[in-house]
Amino acid sequence: MSFDIIQNLIPSLLSDLILDLIHDLIPDLLNVFHLPDSRSEPRPDSRPEPRPDSRPATRLDP
């Protein structure tokens, strides 16, 4: 009789163990295959920074 109980428990314990392993491995797998998310990185400004000594061009009338 005790053998029947053990035999019935083994599949349940194995499935719980497998589910726990998968649950623990998912974050690691995501970290391994993680590609940088372009939305999280600041986008560089495409305009060049003005130099401190530069002034806007002025039109000289003759």
| 34-56 pLDDT tens trace | 655 555 555 555 566 666 665 66
Provide the pLDDT for residue 41: 52
- Overall average pLDDT of the 9-28 stretch: 87
Q: Indicate yes or no: pTM above 0.75.
A: no
Q: What is the mean pLDDT of the chain?
A: 71
- Overall average pLDDT of the 19-23 stretch: 90
Greatest mean pLDDT range, 3-7, 19-23, 37-41, 44-48: 19-23
Provide DSSP, the chain.
-HHHHHHHHHHHHHHHHHHHHHHHHHHHHHHHTPPPPTTTSPPPPSSPPPPTT-----PPP-
